[in-house]
Amino acid sequence: MSRATRIPNLGGARAFVLHRPHATGAAILRQLAAIGLDAVDCWPELPAEALGADFVFFDADLGFDEQFPWAPGEAPMPTIALIGSEAPGRIEWALSQKADAQLLKPVGNSGVYSALLIARQSFEERRSLADEIVALRARVAERQTIVRAVTALAAQGATDDRAYAQLRSLAMSWQVSMEEAARRIVAMTDEGDEHSDHA
Amino acid sequence: MCLACLAFPVLAAGLFRFGEQMKRQVEIGVLYSRSGTYPVVSEASRAGVLAAIADVNADPQMPIAFVPVEYDPAGNVDNYATGCADILANSKARHIIGCVTSWSRKEVIPVLEKTGGTLWYASPYEGFEANEHVVYMHACPNQHLVPLLGYVVPKFGANGYLVGSNYIWGWETNRVARDLIADARGDVLGERYLRLGETDVSHMIAEIEATRPSFILNNLIGPSSYAFIKAYAELASRDERFGPEQCPILSCNLTEAELPVIGAFAQGHLSAGPYFRRADAEGTSGMIGSSLAASNYAAVQVLARVLAINPEATFAELPAIFAREQFDTPFGRIAIDPRTQHATVPVEIGRVSGEGFEVVQRTEAVAPDPYLSRYDRTETFGRPRLKVVS
């Protein structure tokens, strides 16, 4: 995890601003250029190269799902919603895109820098949480494998507690996770059963 | 007394001797405090403005003559927005030169945005701003702090003790310094702040004595800074490990203007800035006493040139003019970046010597990078040495 304070190196980062030609877009492009980003404005669609962008600003007032080359809420980079109208339907749509930060219109001389930093941190936190959830789900899914491995080891005559401790020490000596060690034991047991079936 | 009464045009008789008939008179705002906690700095800045106005008005080649419209916020940060609004409402001035602290600059920006005015800001500051209503004429961190630490770390070491006045300049400059020190593989051994005007520095001095840093970064201003430099010199007289040859005080805002107030205590310590007075210089640059006077002088020169090109130029016209023009100033011929409206300036590292600074390093024409977007650790501190792991 990076330290809390860090010179935010935004130089050369690429940003797309998805907004119809308007003073708001111009104000954002000016601020982005001053901060040192390469910024491109586009409307009504994000071009394919936006998939490689570091930030995307999008208009919450006139935006719609088909503008984006990704499913709603699955942008692969930090996004910032540009909110003018506070009509509940528009806010609902902006929320469905899971924007990492917001900027209220009209945009003047400031706001873009803090939006960039907030969006980046919030996106990174969201992504690391999502990664952690995937890893935890995988471990939960392996519970059955661990139960089968412990049962197989217990079948050799050990108690359940002892079989579990044995699985842990095997995982340590193989330098793999408990789940991986359990998978190996289950595979060996299955193999043994196959051999005995053929005997 | 009504604050508005403090704003008055100063018409100095005889200023327009040269081509008086041809010169168009243009009012410009001057917003510097003449009392309060940092009068030495603001007086040096104001002197630079008035000297430049006199020179512009005396220049027969220049089609305009400036009439300063002054407002004195008297060192009270709450008076700056009032003063700015007063100048813009009660005179024809659209351009104001002034503000020393970032605090006061941030106070006037909403007024400028509402009224279409422009502030010419001529003090060193902490960066991370690029307002289209402000022209930044002094150094930002890539033009003071980054090169200063790049110079100091190889000579003195990378462990720093950070001090500052309790407002945005100290907080943000020290924040960048923490990152730079980490990049240089050093440690921050302490970080302390004093409220504006506070002069009890004993706690800081005790911590420095106990932690023995490689250098001290001083972001104190005014009397706090003078008291700190004096107390540190007294520590050095007891223990030579705290002399400027072993453990210097570094500043990004110390200029010749404050040396007479500090006296001999600052000898040998280091400062970074776009300009230090040359004892042997001749002509205009020899007359300009500090980078504060120089940047204010430069601001007036640039503004005069801008208004000579387009008499009606306001903030909206500035980027186009900055994109194609260069300007002769005490910093040499400079450009102003049209995207950030920050000046390209030389970077000098000066060591306090006698009544001035001896320049120990100079880099020409350093382009502004107010957001440190182009900061490169390797360029500043070299490649990290690999550690042998057994």
Residue B108 belongs to domain with CATH number: 3.40.50.2300
Cβ contact (<8 Å) for B130 and A34? yes
What is the percentage of chain A residues whose pLDDT exceeds 90?
77
Instruction: At B106, list the tokens.
Output: 């941030």
Tell me, yes or no, whether A102 lies in a domain.
yes
When pLDDT is averaged across residues B307-324 and rounded to a whole number, the result is 96
When pLDDT is averaged across residues A107-124 and rounded to a whole number, the result is 95
B132 and B148 together in one domain: no
When pLDDT is averaged across residues B231-257 and rounded to a whole number, the result is 97
Indicate which of A9, A28, A109, A113 best probes the interface with B, i.e. most B CBs within 10 Å of its own CB: A109
Q: Based on the structure, what is the number of domains in chain A?
A: 2
pLDDT at B12 over 70: no
Cβ contact (<8 Å) for A5 and B175? yes
Which residues in A lie closer than 8 A to residue B131 (C-beta atoms)?
Answer: 109-110
AA letter at A199: A
Domain end: A136, A163, A185, which one? A136
- CA-nearest residue to A13 within chain B is B373
Domain end: A114, A136, A158, which one? A136
Tell me, yes or no, whether B247 lies in a domain.
yes
Q: For A149-178, how does the pLDDT look when each residue is reduced to its tens digit (9 = 90+)?
A: 999 999 988 898 999 999 999 999 999 999
Tell me, yes or no, whether A4 lies in a domain.
no
Cβ contact (<8 Å) for B339 and A33? yes
Instruction: Report the C-alpha gap between B135 and B10 in whole angstroms.
Output: 24
A131 and A146 together in one domain: no
Tell me, yes or no, whether A115 lies in a domain.
yes
B127 and B219 together in one domain: no
Domain containing residue B246: 142-277+347-381
Rounded to the nearest integer, the mean pLDDT of chain B is 92
pLDDT for the residue A195: 64
A155 and A104 together in one domain: no
pLDDT band at A9 (very low <50, low <70, confident <90, very high): confident
| CATH code: domain of residue A122 | 3.40.50.2300
Tell me, yes or no, whether B55 lies in a domain.
yes
Domain end: A109, A136, A163, which one? A136
The interface residues of chain A toward chain B in range 82-141, judged by CB-CB distance below 8 A, are 108-110, 113
DSSP of B71-138: E--TT-TTHHHHHHHHHHHHSS--EEEE--SHHHHHHHHHHHHHHT-EEEE-S--------TTEEE-S
B73 and B173 together in one domain: no
pLDDT band at A2 (very low <50, low <70, confident <90, very high): very low
A37 and A106 together in one domain: yes
Which member of B113, B180, B340 has the closest CB to residue A109?
Answer: B113
Tell me, yes or no, whether B387 lies in a domain.
no
B222 and B237 together in one domain: yes
pLDDT band at A193 (very low <50, low <70, confident <90, very high): confident
Tell me, yes or no, whether A103 lies in a domain.
yes
C-alpha distance from residue B325 to each of A167, B95, B119, B318, B344 (Å): 75, 19, 19, 10, 13
Tell me, yes or no, whether B388 lies in a domain.
no
Instruction: Report the C-alpha gap between A180 and A174 in whole angstroms.
Output: 10
| A37 CB within 8 Å of a chain B CB | yes
B358 and B236 together in one domain: yes
Quote the pTM value.
Answer: 0.84
Cβ contact (<8 Å) for B374 and A33? no
Q: What is the ipTM of this complex?
A: 0.75
Tell me, yes or no, whether B377 lies in a domain.
yes
Domain containing residue A159: 142-198
Q: For B111-127, how does the pLDDT look when each residue is reduced to its tens digit (9 = 90+)?
A: 999 999 999 999 999 99
A112 and A23 together in one domain: yes
pLDDT for the residue B330: 95
When pLDDT is averaged across residues B311-339 and rounded to a whole number, the result is 96
Tell me, yes or no, whether A3 lies in a domain.
no
Residues in chain A, how many? 199
| A23 CB within 8 Å of a chain B CB | no
A30 and A52 together in one domain: yes
Q: For A25-57, how does the pLDDT look when each residue is reduced to its tens digit (9 = 90+)?
A: 999 999 999 999 999 999 999 999 999 999 999
Cβ contact (<8 Å) for B371 and A35? yes
Tell me, yes or no, whether B390 lies in a domain.
no
A21 and A102 together in one domain: yes
Q: Based on the structure, what is the number of domains in chain B?
A: 2
What is the percentage of chain B residues whose pLDDT exceeds 70?
91
pLDDT for the residue B386: 62
| CATH code: domain of residue A150 | 1.10.10
**Which carries the bigger pLDDT value, residue A79 or residue A198?**
A79
Which residues in A lie closer than 8 A to residue B145 (C-beta atoms)?
Answer: none
pLDDT band at B38 (very low <50, low <70, confident <90, very high): confident
Q: For B213-222, how does the pLDDT look when each residue is reduced to its tens digit (9 = 90+)?
A: 999 999 999 9
pLDDT at B18 over 80: no
Tell me, yes or no, whether A2 lies in a domain.
no
The beta-strand segments (E) located in A47-100 are 55-59, 79-83
Cβ contact (<8 Å) for A3 and B375? no
A98 and A146 together in one domain: no
C-alpha distance from residue B376 to each of B152, B230, B343 (Å): 17, 35, 21
Which member of B130, B182, B373 has the closest CB to residue A9?
Answer: B373
When pLDDT is averaged across residues B83-94 and rounded to a whole number, the result is 97
Rounded to the nearest integer, the mean pLDDT of chain A is 91
B222 and B180 together in one domain: yes
pLDDT at B173 over 90: yes
Which residues in A lie closer than 8 A to residue B180 (C-beta atoms)?
Answer: 7
pLDDT band at A189 (very low <50, low <70, confident <90, very high): confident
B210 and B296 together in one domain: no
Chain B residues with CB under 8 Å of a chain A CB are: 109, 113, 128, 130-133, 175-176, 178-180, 182, 339-340, 369-375
A160 and A121 together in one domain: no
pLDDT for the residue B389: 58
A95 and A165 together in one domain: no
pLDDT for the residue B2: 41
B310 and B270 together in one domain: no
Instruction: Report the C-alpha gap between B341 and B81 in whole angstroms.
Output: 21
**Which carries the bigger pLDDT value, residue B1 or residue B20?**
B20
A151 and A131 together in one domain: no
pLDDT for the residue A198: 52
Tell me, yes or no, whether A155 lies in a domain.
yes
pLDDT for the residue B69: 98
Which member of A7, A31, A109 has the closest CB to residue B179?
Answer: A7
A58 and A111 together in one domain: yes
When pLDDT is averaged across residues A84-108 and rounded to a whole number, the result is 93
Chain B: closest CA distance from residue A35 (Å)? 6
AA letter at B290: S
